[in-house]
Structure 1
């Protein structure tokens, strides 16, 4: 893990941060392919400093149910998208540069997005990315609001915290809403305003504990499911 000493000692809220989101071909991160991606760099005051967008041709048909979510058809991806290998390389390079500078990267349900990218890199025989530091509003919310009632989707939590989310399930909209949600959540739970490296390491443990709690609940009610607590990349 590469770190920036100055960033390591200051709360993430005082420093630039980035936010990352993918839209893909399906819900399983081990097999899903990238369709669109967004990576946005944000100043400490929330101003957008840089905004990158990618449209990929995933090399496989995009299922109709996935198109219904994000709006990108197989035909459009083939006509307008860059080869997915190129998109994965550019994304990994951009993210790697941010991580090398100690810039935290937000991703909602980070273990999905970073696992999809990890598998794309493996699929195309490219070097792996080590995501650090990553901040995940879903893991954070489960930790600070353990008895939250109802769903914890990005849409639900954005509405709860007064975060604007237009064009949900486009990578650009979800991307910016993720950073805004984390900021609003930290205003309510100031214990989250710590250095990003320390918060990353805590989330690794929190994600394991949260998965174990859900596994115990499923076992208790007889639901056949295996919950993976690896974060931010599933093996």
Structure 2
């Protein structure tokens, strides 16, 4: 992707790279990428750059997954890029954004980045390892508005922060909405804008761990004594 370099003097939320995957399932160790989006949004949330992929995952896409993102096995085989090629291109696009100094926004980043990491290993690519400037609105929202009731899905976050999401579970729509939610969280919590993005990344590591520990304690206290939750972030 091309474009202006990110100014270190600007708020980290002014220009953001955005990233999302749709996949064959929810298990990060076994699921495969079906669609992907890497883009850039500007200070007003406008889309400045975007690149999208449809991928032939090399396996059957379960009906349950197709019902979520709309891509059938047949369509993926017909229109999709070979998975090994697409995974390499997605990693390269993210690496290019990171090299420009752009924070990378992903909603529930530990899922998308971990899936991409497993896919890199599967095809023998150099992984996109632990980028230092990940922004995860899912983790940040739960930290700054801890006691808000209700779901914390992307759809729910968009409703709460007044961000339009017209096509949920489309990788492009979800990626762009996640970036706009991150910007809306900063508008609602201006102190976040003054935190260096590297420091924010480190805070999210701690917040994710604390949130997982709290959730695990709650589940164990409600009849599931063996329940465990991983708070590893941004990779699991």
Q: TM-score, normalised by structure 2?
A: 0.93
> Residues 84-123 of structure 1: matches in 2 within 5 Å?
84-123=83-122
Distance in 1, Cα, partners of 2:96 & 2:39: 13
1:40 aligned counterpart, secondary structure? strand
1:41-96 CA deviation, whole Å, 9 max, x = no partner? 11233222111000000000000000000000000000100011111100101101
Structure 1 residues without counterparts, runs of 5 or longer: none
Once the two structures are TM-superposed, the CA of residue 11 in structure 1 deviates from its matched residue by 2.6
Partner of 1:187: 187
Distance in 2, Cα, partners of 1:161 & 1:10: 23
Distance in 2, Cα, partners of 1:54 & 1:21: 11
Partner of 2:151: 151
Report if the CA contact (8 A) 2:163-2:180 is conserved. yes
Once the two structures are TM-superposed, the CA of residue 222 in structure 1 deviates from its matched residue by 2.3
1:13 aligned counterpart, secondary structure? coil
Distance in 2, Cα, partners of 1:44 & 1:157: 19
Q: Which piece of structure 1 moves more, 18-27 or 39-48? A: 39-48
Decide whether aligned partners of structure 1 residues 198 and 5 sit closer, same or farther in structure 2, where only a CA change above 3 A counts.
farther
1:45 aligned counterpart, secondary structure? coil
Once the two structures are TM-superposed, the CA of residue 18 in structure 1 deviates from its matched residue by 0.7
1:130-182 CA deviation, whole Å, 9 max, x = no partner? 22210000000110011010110000110111110011111011111101111
Decide whether aligned partners of structure 1 residues 92 and 74 sit closer, same or farther in structure 2, where only a CA change above 3 A counts.
same
Partner of 1:172: 172
Distance in 2, Cα, partners of 1:10 & 1:216: 39
Distance in 2, Cα, partners of 1:120 & 1:191: 37
Report if the CA contact (8 A) 1:10-1:195 is conserved. no
Once the two structures are TM-superposed, the CA of residue 196 in structure 1 deviates from its matched residue by 1.5
Distance in 2, Cα, partners of 1:104 & 1:5: 9
Partner of 2:123: 124
1:155-212 CA deviation, whole Å, 9 max, x = no partner? 0110111110011111011111101111111111112212221111110111111111
Report if the CA contact (8 A) 1:56-1:83 is conserved. yes
Report if the CA contact (8 A) 2:6-2:100 is conserved. no
Structure 2 residues without counterparts, runs of 5 or longer: none
1:25 aligns with 2:24: yes
Measured on the aligned residues, the alpha-carbon RMSD in Å equals: 1.5
1:12 aligned counterpart, secondary structure? coil
Partner of 2:160: 160
Alignment coverage as a number of residue pairs: 229
1:19 aligned counterpart, secondary structure? strand
1:208 aligns with 2:201: no
2:221 aligned counterpart, secondary structure? helix
2:52 aligned counterpart, secondary structure? strand
